[in-house]
Amino acid sequence: MDRTQRRWAWLSIGFSLVVLGVVLYLTVDRETLELLLDFNPVYLLLALLLRTFSLVFWAYRMTELSKALHYRVGAGYAFLVVTANLFAGAITPGQAGGEPVRIHGLYRAGLKIGDATAVALMERVLDGVVLSLMGVVAMIALGPLWLSLPPWIIAGMGAAWIIMVGLILLLALAVRRPARVKSIVMRVLVWAERRFPGERIRKMIAGAERETDALFAGLVFFTTQGRRGLVTGGICTALFWSSEFFVASLILIALGQAPFVAESFLFQLIIAIVSLAPLTPGSSGIAEIAAASLYALIVPSSIVGVFVLLWRALLYYYNIVVGVIGSLCVVRREILRVPCEAEPEQVVIEPK
């Protein structure tokens, strides 16, 4: 981990801890201690296991999308790439740092850069589609509760949904009009070279045309011959998000509260979408405030702070710990250059 990464990591953790401290200060009282007498650590352990298992669905999605492009990526290696991506996402605004890590990991597994980028983009598209569908179902099931949400949360969700829909439409345009999108990409790169001249930009432009062709070929292949991979990837995406969202319900049960499954799914969906906004590294602070504001609507205020602390521990601090371990394992494999099941046979068929 270099100095910049350490700085971002400490900034993200520090901001999160400050906000958690404020939430705990405002919510912990005598009633909190009485409610904690009903604490059941078994359900907290189940929540931890479910959180870990959700990463398995993510890794399997990566292998299936790669398989759709005629590459074989081992499940063990895909799991390592997913965990390494968690750390990068935890210390970058809007969790955007995870994509480059996954693309690099797939490239090391034998995929072309363009194909690896197509897999990462398709993961985002599947996330957007699944979250949007889950949001529609949740809003229909909990109409009155939806109307009681704070205006800033509704506004944040609307902005994030617009971004997701925009990404999906852009990729649809890339599939239908690849030449036009490629022209736009090349113009942006040429403009960047003129504005910020340097060797790195020149190298990027030199390989951009080839890799852009590979990217569009991969996207087109997903919508034609690779549809089976999209279906399997969509199922894995639904299982991943369902597992992630149910973690909160298990924590509530551990604290002696009702699981509030439907409400919790809606709240987790809102937090996931709002967290996409690139405002703070790892969405630290934003996620804590959103969770405290939402869950205060359904659980006693005295337990809200403890709930947010445990929830954030499993969905954020867990990412940092596991992400560091996964990153070290990936780096060690690269240094030793030990071929693993992940590095993989590549079938000669090129996606067209």
Domain assignment present for residue 226? The answer is yes
**144-158, 186-200, 323-337: which is most confident:** 323-337
Whole-number Å distance between alpha carbons of 243 and 236:
10
User: Is residue 136 predicted with pLDDT exceeding 80?
Assistant: no
All residues at 6 or more sequence positions from 169 whose CB lies less than 8 Å from its CB, including other chains: none
Domain assignment present for residue 352? The answer is no
Nearest to 154 by CA among 262, 293, 247, 281: 293
pTM for this model (two decimals): 0.78
Instruction: State the pLDDT confidence band at 119, using cuts at 50, 70 and 90.
Output: confident
CB 80 within 8 A of CB 326: yes
Backbone phi and psi for residue 269, each to the nearest 5 degrees, phi listed first: -65, -45
pLDDT tens for each residue of 286-313: 888 888 888 888 888 889 989 999 999 9
Instruction: State the pLDDT confidence band at 345, using cuts at 50, 70 and 90.
Output: very low
The predicted structure's pLDDT at residue 227: 75
Between 105 and 181, name the one with better pLDDT: 105
Residue 339: exposed, middle, or buried by beta-carbon count in 10 A (0-12, 13-18, 19+)?
A: exposed
Structure tokens at 2: 């270099």
**Mean of the per-residue pLDDT values for the chain?**
78
User: Is residue 342 predicted with pLDDT exceeding 60?
Assistant: no
Number of H helices and E strands in the chain, helices first, is: 15, 0
- Rounded-to-10 torsion of CA 47, 50, 55, 56: 160
CB 173 within 8 A of CB 196: no
Domain assignment present for residue 95? The answer is yes
Lowest mean pLDDT among 198-202, 215-219, 274-278: 198-202
Show contacts of 163-170: CB within 8 Å, 24+ apart: 163/276, 164/128, 164/131, 164/132, 164/273, 164/276, 165/128, 165/132, 167/124, 167/125, 167/128, 168/125, 168/128, 168/129
Q: What is the mean pLDDT of residues 4-15?
A: 72
Q: How many domains does the chain have?
A: 1
The predicted structure's pLDDT at residue 41: 92
Between 204 and 137, name the one with better pLDDT: 137
Domain assignment present for residue 347? The answer is no
Domain assignment present for residue 351? The answer is no
pLDDT tens for each residue of 20-51: 888 888 888 888 888 888 889 999 999 999 99
Domain assignment present for residue 348? The answer is no
Domain residue limits at 287? 3-336
The predicted structure's pLDDT at residue 352: 40
Domain assignment present for residue 345? The answer is no
Domain assignment present for residue 228? The answer is yes
pLDDT tens for each residue of 220-257: 777 677 678 788 988 999 999 999 999 999 999 999 88
